[in-house]
Amino acid sequence: MQIALEALNRLREGNKRFAANQLADHAVQSSREQSVAGQKPFAIILGCSDSRVPAELIFDQGLGDLFVIRVAGNIVAPSQVGSVEFAAAEFGTRLVVVLGHTQCGAIRATIDELVQTSDNRSPNLRSIVDRIRPAVQPLINAKVPATELMNQAVRANIITSAEHLRHGSDIIERLIQSDDLLVVGAEYSLETGQVEFFDGIPMG
């Protein structure tokens, strides 16, 4: 657990630098040359494909520091679960961050679909919507005000994805139970550049 907490702190410090426009010099050329021999990422990031949310930049990390999995809506499907299993087993990475963000287009598409179903949506896009739906549908059923729906839906989807990942495989469950893996949820603010870690953070 201590290794995971140290990794979490490293991400927090990097994001502080990013939000303050005080990025570190990661010496890309030497990092590229060193990474040829192998990699040792200290954190796994399951994030959204949104072009405004590149994990290496918002956490101010260099080549080889992060194992990044990106998919629209930071959803969890078998391929994402397998990727986390691979990184945890192959590199001994002990921290997983499910990273959502404000103004997420996949969340917006899901809300739109649930409010007014479209017959024109492609089956592939619908598969993404269907994975986000369980997080968003209860909010719509509860008649959350439109002014709050998007923000709450983003958070709910992060929590749902993180929980799905925690219980997505026997391998991941065993690692978590033995304190060899920590899965947390976080939200990146497009407006401020700050990341808030809010789900699955150990107390004390």
Tell me how far apart the alpha carbons of residues 39 and 9 are, in angstroms, rounded to a whole number: 20
> Would you say residue 134 has pLDDT above 80?
yes
Is there a domain that residue 191 lies in?
A: yes
Q: Is the residue at 65 inside a domain?
A: yes
Distance CA 95, CA 102 (A): 22
Residue 78 domain flag: yes
Range of the domain at 54: 2-199
The better pLDDT of the pair 60, 27 is held by 60
CATH number for 73: 3.40.1050.10
- Is 41 inside any structural domain? yes
**Cα 110 from Cα 65, distance rounded (Å):** 32
Q: How many domains does the chain have?
A: 1
DSSP, res 120: S
Three-state SS at 70: strand
What is residue 117's predicted lDDT score, i.e. its pLDDT? 73
Angle subtended by helix axes 146-166 and 170-177, to nearest 10? 90
pLDDT in tens, 37-66: 677 899 999 999 999 999 999 999 998 999
- pTM of the full predicted structure? 0.92
The answer to whether residue 101 is domain-embedded is: yes
Is 34 a domain residue? yes
User: Predicted confidence band at 126 (pLDDT cuts at 50, 70, 90)?
Assistant: confident
User: Which amino acid is present at 151?
Assistant: N
193: left (phi over 0), alpha (psi -120 to 50) or beta: left
In a domain, 204, yes or no: no
